[in-house]
């Protein structure tokens, strides 16, 4: 992770800027003001700072560690709409959770950098696992309720 943070620091030192857009999205801009694609090209998994596999497999833990609460809001809204879409279309939309993991794994190095620059006091690894798991479960409760109601009445 430190290598990714060093890459971001080098970009910032060379005139790039990094700020939050819409309250959660890390917007990396060139000195000309043009936004940079932090997700990389198609199937490349490598934006300027790289891809975090830890954040891909455990996004709830790493986002809790840096107190990135937007992840849990995103999961709550996205899983609810994904479940509603699944019910409405009568198909499975499991790809939604994969996309959420990919989205945050690509953004995590930038979010971690912003947290470090903002002097956010991180939770310990053990605390972030417990807190992240609890918040993730709470975030998916509305979609679980919708799925159970749908299964029982439709």
> What tokens were used for 30?
């060139």
Looking at per-residue pLDDT, the higher value among 143 and 100 belongs to 143
Domain boundaries, the chain: 49-153
Distances (CA, A) of 33 to 48, 80, 102: 16, 35, 26
Rounded distance between C-alpha atoms, residue 114 and residue 20, angstroms: 8
Report yes or no: 52 and 4 within 8 Å, Cβ to Cβ.
yes
140 CB neighbour count, 10 Å cutoff: 19
pLDDT digits (tens, 9 = 90+) for 89-139: 887 777 777 888 888 999 999 999 999 999 999 999 999 999 999 999 999
pTM confidence score: 0.85
């Amino acid at each position: 992770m430190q290598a990714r943070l060093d890459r971001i620091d080098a970009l910032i030192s060379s005139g790039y800027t990094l700020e939050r857009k819409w309250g959660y999205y890390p917007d990396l801009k060139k000195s000309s003001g043009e936004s940079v694609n932090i997700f990389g090209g198609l199937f490349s998994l490598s934006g300027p700072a790289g891809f975090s596999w830890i954040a891909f497999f455990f996004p709830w833990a790493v986002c809790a560690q840096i107190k990135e609460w937007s992840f849990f809001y995103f999961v709550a809204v996205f899983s609810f709409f994904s479940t509603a879409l699944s019910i409405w279309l009568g198909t499975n939309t499991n790809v939604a959770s994969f996309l959420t993991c990919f989205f945050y794994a690509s953004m995590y190095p930038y979010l971690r950098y912003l947290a470090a620059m903002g002097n956010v006091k991180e939770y310990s690894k053990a605390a972030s696992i417990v807190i992240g798991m609890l918040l993730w479960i709470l975030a998916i409760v509305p979609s679980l309720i919708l799925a159970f109601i749908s299964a029982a009445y439709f």
